[in-house]
Amino acid sequence: MTQHPGAPASLTFDLREIPFSTRGSWLDLSPVTALHTTTDAVHLVSHRNGMHGVLRLEPVRGGAVADTTWHAQPSVFTWGAGGVGTVDAVFDGPETLRLRGAGLGLRLADAAAGLTPFTGTYLYVDPVDDAVVFTSYETGRRYRVTSVRGSVDVVGGEALGVAERAVVLGADGGPWEATVEETTSGAPAYEAARSFDAAVAATASAFGAYVDAVAPWRDERTPAAELAAYVLWSATVAPEGFATRESVLMSKHWMDKLWSWDHCFNALALAPGLPDAALDQFLAPFDHQDACGALPDSITHSEVLYNYVKPPIHGWALRRLRATAGRELTHDELAEVHDRLARWSRFWLERRRRPGHALPYYQHGNDSGWDNATTFDRDRVIESPDLAGFLALQLEVLADLSEELGRPAETWKAGRDALIEALLDELWTGEELVAVGALSGERSTATSLLNLLPLVLGDRLPAKVRTALAERLVEHLTEHGPATEPVTSPHYEDDGYWRGPIWAPSTALIEDGLRVSGFTELADAVSERFRALCERSGFAENFDARTGAGLRDRAYTWTAAVYLTLAADHVRR
């Protein structure tokens, strides 16, 4: 196997698609400042208390904003002005951005440019160490600018109301260096522990070690592996607030949350090389289980939502995680996972089944993770084939885990068998799987890819059922991967969220379902097409099924994670 020491010096990326950040940080540099909002200028963006573009960073020359180009690598970001000058930026740890320039200055401006008694930013010079401090109501943090060398000009210090507030570094054209720290109220004065170049080298080394851990198998057959690793690495945040463990956010754009099924795909990508991080990622939402055993819908730095849940794919994910993990889970770890998984399963069995019904129900498309899939068009409260399949598999994993721990397993086995029997008796029409309204009893349509996900049950389904589902899958398969709604469907939409676009999680589940159901060639085709899609179009939230163009959030970690998982499996095979 080829070894790849150190960070790849040739790896670059488009800052408009992927933010510049570092593992553990709640900060990034990006021109993306809000939902579908891309500005002309790079901003220092914080994800504490939501997504906030706190400071606008603009290179200046001769008192005016300079015309510059951007160059982003994992270890350093650079503004360049055609040989006239440069400004470089590096994260020296999670909360410190170091900056230096020559030939160009840099203007750090309050992005809101307004202040009321309760919102906005305030700017002042600290009398203790002459640092210039922006305070932000929105993030609840301070942004302290400390000059290491060169000129510093302050505009709008101590101004109230609507006013310009800015710090200009190196306005005189000479070389300069400074830091921006995200702090609380009483941080000590900044002291550099190493040089700027040493910080760049350390970041490059840290990312290189990460890539070697998560993708040691990479070669010319997997050209997007290093960029996929960067998307995961740069979207990882340190434990803080409601993020009780180191967590991989879905993105450091506006999808800056951890949802209670997204995390499973990121855990699978981390499992072979970073098993401790993978287990933390897997368990993160379980730290917020409610009294009934339900997982939250999502977690952010300052918010936990329980208005929806997400599907119980955790048994499926745990089995795959253990199969590839770089170490065995300890007895205590397995016991913890068992107990949390048991509570999560009982929630579905005890709180989400209509009296007298064997099958659990979703209350809304959001519960399934497939918010607006066509399966929910007739009824929103449905007994759905994917839910039955996921939960049956989870009960089987629980049974195996119980036996391994010396605990009773028969209840879980009986529950699995009952769910599979009900799935086939109540949702299989003889030709296809459908959902039914939990209250109306009416059948759903069956054109959504969602209805094919029970393939993950493999040979627990009769051969004729597996074959019919695989044949139906072919109708969804485009040159780029499996569309969530066939392009021939009257309900198909190019940018219709779960009504057409290709998604990473559905691809991962379908690829695995085909493989365990014996349709190896079809599984290989799904894997190959999705990998090629990512290599061409990056790691978007989802993709246009006709053109392969990336849609919505363009730096989505579960997309990068599924690419890494499929690529690793491909290389191993």
Alpha-carbon distances of 320 from 398, 431, 569, rounded to whole Å: 14, 30, 12
Question: How many Cβ atoms from other residues are within 10 Å of residue 129's Cβ?
Answer: 12
Tokens of 84: 């006239």
Quote the CA–CA distance of 501 and 544 in Å, as a whole number.
5
**Residue 408 falls in which region: left (phi positive, over 0), alpha (psi -120 to 50) or beta:** beta
Same-domain status, 154 and 273: no
230 is a domain residue:
no
Do 230 and 77 meet the contact criterion of CB atoms below 8 Å apart?
A: no
Do 412 and 398 meet the contact criterion of CB atoms below 8 Å apart?
A: yes
SS3 197: helix
SS3 58: strand
The one-letter code for the residue type at 322 is: R
Count: domains in the chain: 2
SS3 418: helix
Quote the CA–CA distance of 71 and 52 in Å, as a whole number.
23
Do 15 and 3 meet the contact criterion of CB atoms below 8 Å apart?
A: no
Query: For 555, which DSSP code?
Result: B
Tokens of 442: 């009416």
532 is a domain residue:
yes
74 is a domain residue:
yes
> Final residue of a domain: which of 159, 182, 203?
203
Would you list the DSSP string of 313-374?
A: -HHHHHHHHHHH-SSPPPHHHHHHHHHHHHHHHHIIIIISB-TT-SSB-BSSHHHHT-TT-G
Q: Rounded to the nearest 5 degrees, what angle is found at the Cα of 230, between the Cα atoms of 328 and 325?
A: 10
Would you list the DSSP string of 66-89?
A: ---EEEE-SS-EEEE-TTS-EEEE
Same-domain status, 519 and 453: yes
Alpha-carbon distances of 224 from 128, 203, 246, 383, rounded to whole Å: 48, 20, 24, 39
Of 307, 228, 291, which is closest to residue 559 (Cα–Cα)?
228
Of 244, 237, 238, 212, which is closest to residue 225 (Cα–Cα)?
212
Same-domain status, 173 and 266: no
Dmax (CA) of the chain: 78
Residue-level pLDDT at 161: 84
Give the CATH number, domain containing residue 259. Answer: 1.50.10.10
225 is a domain residue:
no
β pairing state of 481-482 and 542-543: unpaired
Domain that holds residue 262: 255-572
The one-letter code for the residue type at 317 is: A
Same-domain status, 103 and 189: yes
216 is a domain residue:
no
246 is a domain residue:
no
**Residue 226 falls in which region: left (phi positive, over 0), alpha (psi -120 to 50) or beta:** alpha
Alpha-carbon distances of 87 from 79, 174, 202, 348, rounded to whole Å: 5, 12, 19, 54
> Final residue of a domain: which of 133, 168, 203?
203
Same-domain status, 155 and 279: no
Whole-model pTM: value is 0.96
Quote the CA–CA distance of 27 and 20 in Å, as a whole number.
9
Q: What is the mean pLDDT of each run of 10 residues along the chain (573 residues)?
A: 52 97 98 94 97 96 95 98 94 98 96 64 93 94 96 93 92 95 91 96 98 97 98 98 97 97 98 98 98 98 98 98 98 98 98 97 98 98 98 98 98 98 98 98 97 98 98 98 98 98 98 98 98 98 98 97 98 93
Same-domain status, 54 and 158: yes
End-to-end CA distance of the chain: 14
Same-domain status, 445 and 554: yes
Tell me, letter by letter, the H, E, C secondary structure of 419-438. HHHHHHHHHECCCCECCEEC
> Final residue of a domain: which of 169, 203, 237?
203
Same-domain status, 354 and 495: yes
Same-domain status, 299 and 361: yes
Quote the CA–CA distance of 235 and 573 in Å, as a whole number.
29
336 is a domain residue:
yes
Instruction: List beta partners, residue 24.
Output: 237
Helices (H), 275-330: 275-283, 314-324
Indicate the length of the chain as a whole number: 573
Alpha-carbon distances of 449 from 185, 372, 432, 500, 554, rounded to whole Å: 51, 12, 12, 9, 23
249 is a domain residue:
no
Same-domain status, 436 and 344: yes
The pair phi, psi for residue 460, each rounded to 5°, is -75, -15
Same-domain status, 295 and 158: no
Same-domain status, 189 and 280: no
**Residue 240 falls in which region: left (phi positive, over 0), alpha (psi -120 to 50) or beta:** beta
Do 251 and 537 meet the contact criterion of CB atoms below 8 Å apart?
A: no
